[in-house]
């Protein structure tokens, strides 16, 4: 079954607002086994919107519109769908009653313009919206199911879950979806793809998606079958082959990010962690503490941007900085060891580098980062060089640091 999504609203044609509703809806549709074949954004223009709806209904079995159900003149979704499907609009006094009650609950009188939200496309089912004034609409037009949903995400998401998912599921042949997730650190997207493509391309019943972020690749395997057992069974062999190829580079099988995977390992070993950051300016600590319960293992750390702070807070000898410069193997080593001792932690990570766009030397050009890991037995230092802008270098540095710790703990 094919679906398309139409996001309605001129604000999403400006540089300041993006359509996030369709991402949520796509994930929900995929979970049902419905594939998205097209999506678009249409401004608040009646003629264009009517044309777009007409085209979508003619070619897709599921059409979802979000936005434009509000009370103002520029909210045109109801009118456009009515026109595209050749149906009348009918006024429902009881809907206006619900809207009036909602306003009363907030101690406000209802505005006359809210009557616009009480118009229903002939033959459509009204979908109650407990989080806003505009109800959604569901209609069948020929073979196509059409949904009109409110634009605000906090209204759209619960309404879709409560009203649309069960109606859509009833239209689908009974089928169950099985999925596998792998998250991989320390490899680029094309390297992962080159390695695993020979496997996934040989299972035509399985859909494979590769999502890439700096230093972080997600691999999703998905298949559908009549029963859960059958669907699961179909993934066993390709998943095992992919696991064998990626080996210990896989850090998560449940979708957890790297900072959570590291947290599990630290907690399991009852070990503690500290950080000393220079060029990442707190990003590493931010990631570690974004995990709920990180106080079980994270003790704290140092944000030492200038040389004198590295000296004063971490106890780096002045001669070391003068001799080697702040971006160097000995400085990363001493930063990690200083943080480990001062925080009385079992492990400490340090990051010092040239995030760019300026800076860098002949031997350590822009993008060079030294990452230290002080452990009970020894201290390790990695020298890495990243290409990309400042944000990418900094993100990659935190990813490499966390992965260095993960591999040392595993």
Residue 244 Cβ vs ligand ATP, minimum distance, rounded to whole Å: 41
Could you tell which of ligand ATP, Mg ion, none binds residue 9, using a CB distance below 5 to 8 A set by kind? ligand ATP
The backbone torsions φ and ψ at residue 33, rounded to the nearest 5 degrees and listed phi first, read 90, 15
Interface ranges with ligand ATP (CB under 6 A): 7-9, 11, 19-21, 66-70, 75, 133-134, 150-153
Q: How far apart are CA 5 and CA 308, in angstroms?
A: 55
Counting contacts by CB under 5 A, is residue 132 touching Mg ion? no
Q: Which one of ligand ATP, Mg ion, none is in contact with 64 (Cβ closer than 5 to 8 A by kind)?
A: none
Q: Which is nearer to ligand ATP, 111 or 236 (CB)?
A: 111
Three-state SS for 274? strand
- Residues ≥6 apart with Cβ < 8 Å to 217: 183, 184, 185, 187, 188, 189, 192, 210, 211
Task: Give the shortest CB-112-to-Mg ion separation in angstroms.
Answer: 16
Q: How far is the CB of 19 from ligand ATP (least distance, A)?
A: 4
Specify which residues 225 forms β-bridges with: 176
**Are the C-beta atoms of residues 370 and 352 closer than 8 Å to each other?**
yes
- Provide, rounded to whole angstroms, the least separation between the CB of residue 26 and ligand ATP: 12
Among 19, 44, 75, 216, binds Mg ion (CB under 5 A): 75
- The one segment of 12-20, 71-79, 216-224, 264-272 that binds Mg ion by CB under 5 A: 71-79
Pick the closer one to ligand ATP by CB: 11 or 329: 11
Q: Which C-beta is closer to ligand ATP: that of 70 or that of 338?
A: 70
Helix (H) or strand (E) holding 124: none
How far is 57 from 49, CA to CA, in rounded Å? 12
Q: Does 70 bind Mg ion (CB under 5 A)?
A: yes
- The radius of gyration computed from the CA coordinates of the chain, to the nearest angstrom, equals 27
Q: In this complex, which beta carbon is closest to ligand ATP, that of residue 40 or of residue 384? A: 40
CA 223 to chain centre: 21
In Å, how far are 8, 25, 45, 51 from 135, measured between CA atoms?
A: 16, 18, 21, 23
Q: Which does 20 bind (CB under 5 to 8 A by kind): Mg ion, ligand ATP, none?
A: ligand ATP
What residues make contact with Mg ion under the rule CB under 5 A? Answer: 70, 75
């Amino acid at each position: 079954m094919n679906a398309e999504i139409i996001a309605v609203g001129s604000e999403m044609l400006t540089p300041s607002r993006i359509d996030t509703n369709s991402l949520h809806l796509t994930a929900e549709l995929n979970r049902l086994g419905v594939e998205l074949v097209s999506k678009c954004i249409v401004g608040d223009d009646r003629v264009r919107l009517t044309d777009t709806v007409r085209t979508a209904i003619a070619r897709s079995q599921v059409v979802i519109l979000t936005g434009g159900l509000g009370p103002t003149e520029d909210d045109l979704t109801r009118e456009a769908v009515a026109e595209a499907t050749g149906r009348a609009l009918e006024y429902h006094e009881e809907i206006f009653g619900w809207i009036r009650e909602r306003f009363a609950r907030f101690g406000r009188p209802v505005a006359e313009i809210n009557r616009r939200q009480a118009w229903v496309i002939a033959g459509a089912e009204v979908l109650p919206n407990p989080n806003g004034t505009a109800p959604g609409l569901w209609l069948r037009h020929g073979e196509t199911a059409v949904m009109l949903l409110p634009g605000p995400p906090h209204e759209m998401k619960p309404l879709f879950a409560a009203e649309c998912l069960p109606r859509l599921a009833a239209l689908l042949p009974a089928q169950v979806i099985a999925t596998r997730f792998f998250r991989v650190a320390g490899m680029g997207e094309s390297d992962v793809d080159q390695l695993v493509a020979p496997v996934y391309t040989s299972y035509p019943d399985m859909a494979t998606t590769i999502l890439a972020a700096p230093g972080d690749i997600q691999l999703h395997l998905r298949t559908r079958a009549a029963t859960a057992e059958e669907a699961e069974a179909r993934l066993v062999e390709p998943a095992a082959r992919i696991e064998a190829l990626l080996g210990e580079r896989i850090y998560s099988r449940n979708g957890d990010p790297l900072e959570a995977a590291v947290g599990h390992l630290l907690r399991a070993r009852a070990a503690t962690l500290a950080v000393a950051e220079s060029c990442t300016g707190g990003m590493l600590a931010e990631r570690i503490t974004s995990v709920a319960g990180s106080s079980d293992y994270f003790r704290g750390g140092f944000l030492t941007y200038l040389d004198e702070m590295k000296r004063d807070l971490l106890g780096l000898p002045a001669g070391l900085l003068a001799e080697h410069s702040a971006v160097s193997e000995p400085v990363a080593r001493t930063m990690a060891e200083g943080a480990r001792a001062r925080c009385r932690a079992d492990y400490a990570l340090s990051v010092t580098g040239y995030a760019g766009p300026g800076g860098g030397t002949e031997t350590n050009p822009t993008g060079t980062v030294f990452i230290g890991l002080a452990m009970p037995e020894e201290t390790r230092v990695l020298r890495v060089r990243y290409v990309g802008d400042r944000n990418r270098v900094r993100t990659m540095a935190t990813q490499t640091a966390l992965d260095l710790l993960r591999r040392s703990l595993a």
